[in-house]
């Protein structure tokens, strides 16, 4: 009991290294090693414990389902892009979206078809709206801010057919099992009661939405603006060089997305 305070050190170490290095995966691995060495403070014991935990996680059926889910979604986005679904949607939306605010409103409007997973939301919405953001000269940093803060915070508040719900129900079930209450209490019911307490997500969603109308920024100097414009031109040329496999049609985007949502709700 005297060393329980050590449990806060691994996440602090992870966050600190991530901020300093801007590298997420190495930071997580270092944080894992730090925690494992606290558990097994010997020369090789910490490393062996870390390997055991990684193997245990990767052989867990729930973890493998999440990994498979993300890989399949990434492959789906690639197929949609190659089939011309995203390009066709972008061409239609380009006729109606003529401002930065319009890009952000469309980004929020895509939540009902990209809410299944945080990663899918980022990859899917980012791919669909990316070209419109470039055409309307939306700063990449602001676009990334909007995409990220309409992903995890939103998905955390949707109580059905998301990997986040499955992840939390699994964690709650483990806790109930350890407390001997698994047979008498529903993990899903506890999760539903916890949604109104997701203060961080709720506040972040409100702040992110308000930044559509109010923002604090300093003007860019001429060299910075020229650099940004060249960067955008290069990105646009790279997108134009992508060869589509078939004729671009919006249906090539709609059918895969509806299939994913239907299958996710069914398997949930």
Query: DSSP E strands: which ranges in 128-267?
Result: none
Nearest to 131 by CA among 155, 152, 107: 107
**R_g over Cα of the chain:** 22
pLDDT tens, residue by residue, 23-72: 888 999 999 999 999 888 888 888 899 999 888 878 877 677 767 766 77
Distance CA 217, CA 141 (A): 12
Provide the mean pLDDT of the chain. Answer: 79
Domain hosting 114: range is 61-157+198-267
Do both 138 and 208 map to the same domain?
Answer: yes
Q: Where do runs of H (alpha helix) occur along 22-60?
A: 24-39, 45-58
Asked if 120 and 114 count as a contact pair (C-beta separation under 8 A), the reply is yes
Assigned domain for 153 exists? yes
Do both 116 and 127 map to the same domain?
Answer: yes
Q: What is the domain count for the chain?
A: 2
Assigned domain for 172 exists? no
Q: pLDDT digit of tens for each residue in the chain (268 aa)?
A: 456 778 888 999 999 999 999 888 899 999 999 999 988 888 888 889 999 988 887 887 767 776 776 677 667 767 777 777 777 777 788 788 888 888 999 899 888 878 877 877 887 788 788 888 888 888 888 898 999 899 888 888 888 867 677 777 877 887 787 777 777 778 888 888 888 998 999 999 999 999 888 875 655 554 444 544 454 444 443 334 456 566 777 788 788 778 777 877 776 6
Distance CA 83, CA 42 (A): 54
Do both 223 and 137 map to the same domain?
Answer: yes
pLDDT tens, residue by residue, 235-264: 443 334 456 566 777 788 788 778 777 877
> CB under 8 Å to 169, separation ≥6 — which residues?
187, 188, 191
Assigned domain for 184 exists? no
């Amino acid at each position: 009991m005297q060393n329980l305070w050590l449990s806060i050190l691994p996440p602090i170490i992870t966050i600190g290294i991530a901020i300093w290095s801007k590298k997420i995966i190495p930071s997580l691995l270092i944080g894992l090693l730090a925690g494992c060495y606290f558990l097994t403070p010997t020369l090789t014991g910490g490393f062996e414990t870390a390997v055991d935990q990684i193997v245990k996680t990767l052989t867990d059926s729930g973890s493998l389902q999440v990994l498979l889910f993300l890989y399949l979604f990434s492959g789906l986005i690639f197929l949609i892009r190659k089939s011309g679904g995203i390009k066709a949607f972008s061409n239609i939306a380009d006729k109606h979206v003529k401002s930065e605010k319009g890009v952000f409103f469309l980004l929020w409007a895509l939540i009902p078809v990209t809410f299944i997973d945080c990663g899918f939301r980022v990859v899917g919405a980012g791919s669909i709206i990316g070209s419109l953001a470039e055409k309307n000269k939306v700063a990449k940093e602001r676009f990334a801010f909007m995409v990220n803060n309409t992903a995890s915070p939103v998905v955390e508040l949707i109580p059905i057919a998301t990997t986040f719900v499955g992840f939390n129900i699994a964690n709650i079930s483990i806790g109930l099992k350890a407390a001997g209450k698994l047979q008498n209490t529903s993990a899903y019911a506890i999760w539903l009661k916890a949604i109104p307490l997701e203060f961080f997500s709720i506040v972040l969603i409100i702040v992110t939405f308000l930044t559509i109308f109010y923002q604090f920024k300093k003007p860019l100097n001429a060299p910075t603006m020229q650099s940004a414009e060249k960067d955008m031109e290069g990105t646009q040329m790279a997108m134009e060089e992508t060869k589509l496999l078939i004729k671009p049609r919006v249906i090539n985007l709609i059918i895969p997305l509806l299939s994913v949502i239907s299958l996710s709700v069914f398997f949930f």
